[in-house]
A and B are shown apart, each in its own frame.
Chain A
């Protein structure tokens, strides 16, 4: 270098201005948006919620740091993306899960799903969801043991419905056991983060307002679930849950606002995101209604993750000055 004290002008390509956003700021926004749901989780599950979130965040950050160091990548973890993965994973775990399983899941999410695929921006699947499914397959019992908080309900609402449905019993008493309003507010069993739809909705609205996520995916996802459920309900209201129950139960809101909108693994075009949302909605309901698991959100999102490069390939906006049809 020439004389380092000489006043050098800086040289770079245009544009020379920036709106001020950063990956880190986005991740902080997501963490902020998850706060209400966290508060509800603490209120409902107490220390378990704090334990799982702390453990997952800490082990995600450590795993990220270690993996990047080992792979010779810049070892910075200050973009907080690993912290987001940690919180999201914790939110997808049952409150009583042993600590070591949570650690295992976190390491799997960061090392296998994220860093082995190339790190931030390159992973094909949502790390937190992958880890959840990995844990679910590996430890089916621990992952579906919901510590009862009253003596009556020991299953998640969707689980209860599924059992009843499998047993051929019409879940007519369902509405009596699970009043819709209290489901929406958070009076249900389930994973840490999915108990209160209201809290998740608040967080989602914050993300929309901050332009971290856009409306296409959540709106199309929720609308498709509601629409499809309404059709099923209209056909047979005895064996099918009403659309409102589908919306108010399980991890749908968590999935629609926080997991399906994961930037890296969702399509990049507006129309692509709409298609993605519709696909998610259909798949979620198909799994809930006919699949082996009571809840289909995680699987639906992971499956659609795999399709999102394809969606991007085939659904592209019309470039200015070009005719409608694009050569693919």
Chain B
């Protein structure tokens, strides 16, 4: 009896062992020599493999830095200190960049922004967008199918119950992958220090916007008038923040549509 139980366990165990052995052998024989500095630089990189630097992953970028002399400050997730360390290791000079975080410029989840038809198809933003806007009345707003969330290497984006993508600035490593993933160009990398945002990209006239969404910019221009001299201007029917200039949090109360938002500055603790 013991035998009859033992044998199947052994069979599975043996199969697993053989596979492992094969992998080990393969790793040994397929190993190639590398500049040891590549490994050191790789260890200084965050290891998120986000690709935001334009290379296939952290190891690839490290190889490019060491072998092809790529600049060491392309890694957004790295702190300024990280870039300095790499530069020091290789004896080159490094410039630090300001910490940026991704921001979804839409606040119209299903509660506030209407869907005018039932969409049945791929739960994927590009396809939905190609199909008459995927059920969303607003032609500019977040579709909520989460293409950005799927590419985010650190899981900083959540689409939540109302089908609206929201970035957690504390987790965001500013790799910029989500920016490229969004078919509606809704995501921007903005300075983490900037706390006042206009969360809308709808360029239609006010009447149209109002039909589609409760929190869309209707181009009433109240904010622009209230914020003369600050980083805010109209682009057609849409108020747009200029992130190189500061903006007063008082504007949040000025907007009749509640399109202007303040959110905590900088990375969350």
Contacts and interface: CB of A to CB of B under 8 A. Distances in A.
In-complex A–B contact (CB below 8 Å)? yes
Interface of A: 1-2, 8-13, 104, 112, 134, 137-139, 142
A2 B116 contact: yes
Nearest to A2: B114
A10 B117 contact: yes
Contact of B117 (A9, A13, A138): A9
A137 B8 CA distance: 8
Contacts of B114: 2
A11 B135 CA distance: 7
Interface string B74-103: 000000000000000000000000000000
A9 B118 contact: yes
B244 interface: no
A134 B131 contact: no
B115 to A, nearest CB: 6
B248 interface: no
Which of A10, A11, A12 has most chain B Cβ within 10 Å? Answer: A11
Contacts of B7: 137-139
A186 to B, nearest CB: 31
Given A10-B118, A134-B11, 18 more contacts: A1-B115, A2-B114, A8-B116, A8-B117, A8-B118, A10-B117, A10-B119, A11-B117, A11-B131, A11-B134, A12-B119, A12-B120, A12-B131, A138-B4, A138-B11, A139-B4, A139-B7, A142-B4
Nearest to B132: A11
A11 B4 contact: no
Contacts of B118: 8-11
Nearest to A98: B4
Contacts, number: 45
B127 interface: yes
Interface string B230-252: 00000000000000000000000
Q: Which of B8, B117, B131, B134 has the most CB of A within 10 A?
A: B8
A2 B162 CA distance: 12
Contacts of A2: 114-116
A256 B159 CA distance: 48
B131 A13 contact: yes
Nearest to B8: A138
Contact of A1 (B8, B110, B127, B134): B110
B13 interface: no
Contact of B121 (A1, A9, A12, A142): A12
Contact of B8 (A8, A11, A13, A104): A104
Interface string B4-18: 100110011000000
27 contacts: A1-B110, A1-B115, A2-B114, A2-B115, A2-B116, A8-B117, A8-B118, A9-B117, A9-B118, A10-B117, A10-B118, A10-B120, A11-B117, A11-B119, A11-B131, A11-B132, A11-B134, A12-B119, A12-B120, A13-B121, A13-B127, A112-B12, A137-B11, A138-B4, A139-B4, A139-B7, A139-B8
Contacts of A13: 121, 127, 131
A137 B135 CA distance: 55
Nearest to A10: B118
A108 B8 CA distance: 10
Nearest to A104: B8
Contacts of B134: 11
Contacts of B121: 11-13
A133 to B, nearest CB: 10
Contacts of A139: 4, 7-8
A104 B135 CA distance: 48
Interface string B106-131: 00001000111111110000010001
Contacts of A9: 117-118
A220 to B, nearest CB: 31
Contacts of A8: 115-118
A13 B110 CA distance: 22
Contacts of A1: 110, 115
Nearest to B137: A2
Contacts of B120: 10-12
Contacts of A138: 4, 7-8, 11
B188 to A, nearest CB: 28
A2 B120 CA distance: 17
Contacts of B135: 11
A99 to B, nearest CB: 14
Contacts of B119: 10-12
Nearest to B122: A13
A77 to B, nearest CB: 23
Contacts of B4: 138-139, 142
Nearest to A140: B7
B145 to A, nearest CB: 14
